[in-house]
Amino acid sequence: MNQKYESLFTPWKVGNVEIKNRVVMLPMEGTNMIQWEAKRGFVKGIGEFYDERRDNNVGLFIPGLIPLISIVGKKWLHENPKVFEPVKPIIRRIHDSGAKIFFQLSAGSGRSMLLPPVLRPFVKKGLLKKLTSGMIMTKWWWSAPDDDEPNVWDPSVKMDFFTEDMIKQFVYAFGQSAKLCKEAGVDGVEIHAVHEGYLLDQFAMKYTNHRDDEYGGSLENRLRFACDVVREIKRVCGEDFPVSLRYSVCSMTRGFNEGAVPGETFEEVGRDLQESEKAVRILEEAGYDLFNCDNGTYDAWFWAHPPVYAPLNINLSYVEHIKRFTSKPVVCAGRLQPDAAAESIAAGKIDAMGVGRQLLADPEYITKIKEDRMDEIRPCIACHGACLPFNGMNGKGTDIDPFGLEMARCVVNPWTNNETKYSKEPARTSKKIAVVGGGIGGMEVAIEASHRGHKVDLYEKTDRLGGVFNAAAAMSYKEKDKDLLRWFERELRSTDTVIHLNEEVSDLSKLDADIIVIAVGAKARTLNIPGSERSVTATDFLEGNTDDADNVVIIGGGLTGCEIAYELALKGKHPSVVEMTENIVGARGICMANSSMLRELLRYHEVPVYLNSQVEEIRDGETVVRTPEGKKVIPADKVVMSVGYTPDRHFVQAAGSREKDRVFFVGDCDNVGNLKTVIRQAFELVQKISY
């Protein structure tokens, strides 16, 4: 073990429970063991998911939240003890590994509730609110501390008032549900949460709590609900039963659906650092044994789920600060790197490292740290493309559709949470496979096929692997993307794949192969406008030298265009974005944490964004843009076209219909998608040809 990581592997205590090391696997959407509303008892495959991680040096597991009451009907968790039976063997296996486990209990999300679009018209008309007998949905799920509080995802939907009687019922339910958890064999519970703007946090913040009863007004009153919860659990389960609190040190919120970005000076409307110092003392005195910390609310969601644009260790200094105001241990989360965590733990500034999505990307993450195999770690790139369900089309999330969206899966590791769907067994018949194209899709096919026992030749026409992802990873804040490229190349070269660089395939018939996989990517689209020959594509711009360009006009306000604008702003340049629709970063499949942070960063850096606008002409040193207010001439040293891609189909005709069982197309040459679609398609193709 590298000496600098030694502190990560020392024991510590939460109450009377000793934990073998300082690594906490954090609760995430889709890692919930109790899917009790469907009366299934547990999520299919969740045992296999935890088995891979329990054997890889995690000290404490905190699975995803368990709601105290069902969304469908008035069903209380504590009235359904049988749902805990199927997970008891999983709990025992976790204990057999020497790890501990806390279950996370939740009162709900209040104004942060994600309403399915199909139900919103009924909520707005008040029809669902009349059906509080439990026939469809319970009133709890659209209630908040304040009457008429707007819903985060759809401000036109107003929340109901969470009454004192409801509070008392929930306090009782917390105690009884915690008792069930204890009887099931868990080592403690975590309360979700004075955190992220969920219901208990809405009570805690003056921004969302304007009550004039004993649960509003002073900080002590606003924290009363959360304090009553831990007191009830201790009364029912005993003082020595540990209770953790998921806790946001600061709200980082400027206003409704307005988050502050790192380094910004702003007026906090939620919980600032000074109030947090007082709050953590009140909560400790009430009985909480552990504070599981980060920052943010749903208005500033990217602090709790830091995207690629967030600095590494984004929350560490805040958690180190709050540690000074409590005698209880604290956990820090948020792109926390093991070297920074180990140093902070060794100095006594925090007590444990919270790890979430990196353990989706690589179940062996902690083992590889312990065994000093850092170069083998498959990195999380903070894309949130498969681990978070909240993907939408616009700035406020009102077009979000939660049905069919994934949770706790991983863009870079398709195996995660599909352990019962896929196989890693050797192929039934070893085949000779030729892969044409050395981008991410081609490398994924080659790696997986080699692991399954196939003989693979990979052909790349250039002198390097990675394809268009080299351009995507070029930006300064994409350090984990660069790590992913290195990981792919390392994994590929560790297999028996024969790699042919600088070798362009023009005739498929000359390939000696049972299976041919085409993974040649896509071609950048351009617009036919006067002066377009003066522009460059996003890929060419990113891979070229951009230092000579100060005023850069970017045509297209999608993800890539806005990322380029942010990169230029970081370098002190003067980018402008021209977008023909009413939103930037508006494509489906982009997590709201990522899109909202990118929008806030462009706002903070004062990048001009022209919506509902089009470039009419590109001239020497300037562009002519038609905006809703009329024509505008914008200075432009360079114009970047970031308007999407079209599949490179030049092999389609050569393959012909006769080859449909021998020639396969993977990635953008088949259908333009994203990193998730190309990796998963490549992975599933190998599953198919190995069966």
Note the pLDDT tens digit of each residue in 327-380: 999 999 999 999 999 999 999 999 999 999 999 999 999 999 999 999 999 999
**How open is the CA angle 644-677-520, to the nearest 5 degrees?**
65
- 510's CB contacts (< 8 A; 6+ apart) are none
Give the helix/strand (H/E) hosting 367: helix 365-370
Q: What percent of the chain has pLDDT over 90?
A: 81
Q: Kindly state the tokens that stand for 213.
A: 């009863």
Per-residue confidence band for 405, with pLDDT thresholds at 50, 70 and 90? low
The answer as to whether 416 is a domain residue is no
Q: How much is the pLDDT for 657?
A: 56
The answer as to whether 337 is a domain residue is yes
Instruction: Say if residue 215 is in the same domain as residue 309.
Output: yes
Q: How much is the pLDDT for 691?
A: 87
> Closest Cα to residue 438, out of 489, 475, 472?
489
Which of 604, 625, 643 is a domain's end point? 643
Q: What is the mean pLDDT of the chain?
A: 92
Question: Any idea which residue has 């902690």 for tokens?
Answer: 366
Which of 331, 356, 376 is a domain's end point? 376
Give yes or no for a contact between 636 and 535, defined as CB atoms under 8 angstroms apart: no
Give the helix/strand (H/E) hosting 470: helix 469-472
pLDDT at residue 659 tops 70: no
DSSP structure class, residue 439? B
The answer as to whether 476 is a domain residue is yes
Per-residue confidence band for 135, with pLDDT thresholds at 50, 70 and 90? very low
The boundaries of the domain holding residue 464 are 432-524+646-690
pLDDT tens, residue by residue, 24-70: 999 998 898 887 765 555 667 899 999 999 999 999 999 999 999 98
Which CATH number covers residue 324? 3.20.20.70
pLDDT tens, residue by residue, 74-132: 789 999 898 899 899 999 999 999 999 999 999 989 998 876 655 656 655 555 555 54
pLDDT at residue 658 tops 90: no
Instruction: Say if residue 479 is in the same domain as residue 341.
Output: no
Q: Kindly state the tokens that stand for 141.
A: 């799920």
pLDDT tens, residue by residue, 377-392: 999 999 999 998 665 4
Q: How much is the pLDDT for 29?
A: 84
Active centre residues (catalytic)? 198
What span, in angstroms and rounded, lies between the C-alpha atoms of 472 and 541? Answer: 11
Q: How much is the pLDDT for 398?
A: 41
Number of domains in the chain: 3
User: Averaged over 257-271, what is the pLDDT?
Assistant: 97
Give the helix/strand (H/E) hosting 84: none
Q: Which of residues 126 and 471 earns the better pLDDT score?
A: 471
Buried b (16+ CB within 10 A) or exposed e, 203-239: bbbebbbebeeebbeeeebbbbbbbbbbbbbbebbee
Instruction: Say if residue 95 is in the same domain as residue 188.
Output: yes
pLDDT at residue 136 tops 70: no
pLDDT tens, residue by residue, 585-612: 988 778 989 999 999 999 999 999 999 9
What span, in angstroms and rounded, lies between the C-alpha atoms of 525 and 192? Answer: 46
The answer as to whether 161 is a domain residue is yes
What span, in angstroms and rounded, lies between the C-alpha atoms of 435 and 116? Answer: 42
Which of 347, 376, 405 is a domain's end point? 376
pLDDT at residue 402 tops 50: no
pLDDT at residue 426 tops 80: yes
Instruction: Say if residue 254 is in the same domain as residue 337.
Output: yes
Backbone angles phi, psi at 340, to 5 degrees: -65, -40
Instruction: Say if residue 334 is in the same domain as residue 268.
Output: yes
SS (H, E, C) 6-20: HHHHCCEEECCEEEC
- 676's CB contacts (< 8 A; 6+ apart) are 383, 385, 386, 411, 589
Instruction: Say if residue 497 is in the same domain as residue 547.
Output: no
Q: Lowest-pLDDT range, 141-145, 253-257, 665-669?
A: 141-145
- 184's CB contacts (< 8 A; 6+ apart) are 84, 87, 88, 91, 103
Q: How much is the pLDDT for 208?
A: 96
Instruction: Say if residue 202 is in the same domain as residue 252.
Output: yes
User: Taking the mean position of all CA atoms in its chain, how far away is CA 324?
Assistant: 29
Q: Lowest-pLDDT range, 435-449, 469-483, 537-551?
A: 537-551
Q: Give the number of other CB atoms < 10 A from CB of residue 187.
A: 24
Q: How much is the pLDDT for 399?
A: 45
The answer as to whether 596 is a domain residue is yes
Q: How much is the pLDDT for 548?
A: 83
Helices assigned H by DSSP within 127-272: 164-184, 199-204, 219-222, 224-237
- 583's CB contacts (< 8 A; 6+ apart) are 393, 394, 395, 557, 611
Please list the helix, strand and coil fractions of the chain in percent, rounded to the nearest 5, in that order: 35, 20, 45
Which CATH number covers residue 617? 3.50.50.60
Give yes or no for a contact between 299 and 253, defined as CB atoms under 8 angstroms apart: yes
The answer as to whether 418 is a domain residue is no
- Can the peptide bond before residue 300 be classed as cis, meaning omega within 30 degrees of 0? no
Instruction: Say if residue 450 is in the same domain as residue 555.
Output: no
Q: How much is the pLDDT for 118?
A: 56
**285 CB burial (10 A radius; 0-12, 13-18, 19+):** exposed
What span, in angstroms and rounded, lies between the C-alpha atoms of 250 and 231? Answer: 24
Q: How much is the pLDDT for 392?
A: 47
Judging by DSSP bridges, how do beta strands 17-19 and 12-14 pair with one another?
antiparallel
What span, in angstroms and rounded, lies between the C-alpha atoms of 568 and 573? Answer: 5
> Closest Cα to residue 270, out of 281, 257, 254, 285?
254
Instruction: Say if residue 598 is in the same domain as residue 666.
Output: no
Q: How much is the pLDDT for 545?
A: 67
DSSP structure class, residue 625? E
Per-residue confidence band for 393, with pLDDT thresholds at 50, 70 and 90? very low
Instruction: Say if residue 242 is in the same domain as residue 147.
Output: yes
Q: How much is the pLDDT for 41?
A: 53
Q: Which of residues 547 and 543 earns the better pLDDT score?
A: 543
Residue type at 554 in one-letter notation: I
Q: Give the number of other CB atoms < 10 A from CB of residue 584.
A: 24
Q: How much is the pLDDT for 365?
A: 98
Question: Any idea which residue has 């370098």 for tokens?
Answer: 571
Buried b (16+ CB within 10 A) or exposed e, 445-475: bbbbbbbbebbbbbbbeeeebbbbbbbbbbb
User: Averaged over 672-688, what is the pLDDT?
Assistant: 96
Q: Helix, strand, or coil here: 606?
A: coil
The answer as to whether 400 is a domain residue is no
Give the helix/strand (H/E) hosting 277: helix 273-286
Q: How much is the pLDDT for 121?
A: 63
Which CATH number covers residue 497? 3.40.50.720
Instruction: Say if residue 182 is in the same domain as residue 279.
Output: yes
pLDDT tens, residue by residue, 274-328: 999 999 999 999 999 999 999 999 999 999 999 999 999 999 999 999 999 999 9
pLDDT at residue 397 tops 60: no
pLDDT tens, residue by residue, 172-215: 999 999 999 999 999 999 999 899 999 999 999 999 999 999 99
Judging by DSSP bridges, how do beta strands 622-627 and 243-248 pair with one another?
unpaired
What span, in angstroms and rounded, lies between the C-alpha atoms of 194 and 160? Answer: 20
The answer as to whether 403 is a domain residue is no
Rg value, the chain, Cα:
26
Q: How much is the pLDDT for 274?
A: 98
Instruction: Say if residue 456 is in the same domain as residue 576.
Output: no
